Structure 1
Amino acid sequence: MVVTVSADISAAPQRLWDLLTDWENQGEWMREASDFEVTSPHRSGVGVTVATTVRIAGIATRDRIRVDVWDPPNGSSPAHLGIEHLGWVKGRGDIHLTELPNTRTHLAWTEHLHPPLGLVGTLGMRLLTPLFTHTFHQDLARLRSAAEPS
């Protein structure tokens, strides 16, 4: 399953990067996830690991992620945060931040998720794709609210 959402946000790429990598507070904008815990000895860069509880459609699981791309904003190229999902549902997530004029940022978020349980999991995830897409759109709206000045 692939879910892609994007938005233009009235905030600098660094502001968004700071929110995206504030691991323990991601639950403030990512409502399907809670109980974030950094499990690596370091908090930034490739190799950071984080555990979180994820609940979608009444199903809760403990997800573990590992950062495999850490390319923060530097003004000359889009920023990229990439993670691997290592829990029950496998896959990866990629967030790209592209600076726009007037202190705006285009955020593009793609999740490639691989369900457990073979064919049964694949069929279940296909049925839940609209719910996942809706959930990620809501997450992006909450992230926008957290990032944009009042």
Structure 2
Amino acid sequence: MDYIDQISIKRLQNVISGETTGISKDVNWQGGGSFVYAELMEKNQGYLKDVQHAETTKQLENVVNRMIAGGADFDFRVDVEKVMQDPEYQAMSLANKKQLMVKVIDKNQLYYAYSDMEDRDVQELMSESDIAFNKSFYGERDL
């Protein structure tokens, strides 16, 4: 959500400070309160960005190899390692290779689910404060 800093956070801060635009005047909003802004922990979303930003075939190949080694989730119908060895794939333009890789990344796994925090490999990616915040946010324990 690229707009979060420019639009959403500014709007929330204005509402908290008591601005009277929108429905604030109609509901006699006087201001106050607070909000928490947290980002989802990227999983395949990070790989997706890396694929899209690859500027050479070698960069794309490095990203895909990192995805394979790092346990990225792909469409279950595709063996990405076999695809990369296929002469037809090798002959594709960089743009077409990137488009294909974007298609085979599992979009249901763009971010880690809260339940993934129990996975030791995921816990290694998170700081203790991130884990504590998530548990607090979901009501498992107080900070």
* TM-score, with length taken from structure 1: 0.23
Bigger proportion of residues as helix: 2
Task: Select the structure of larger CA radius of gyration.
Answer: 2
Bigger proportion of residues as strand: 1
* TM-score, with length taken from structure 2: 0.24
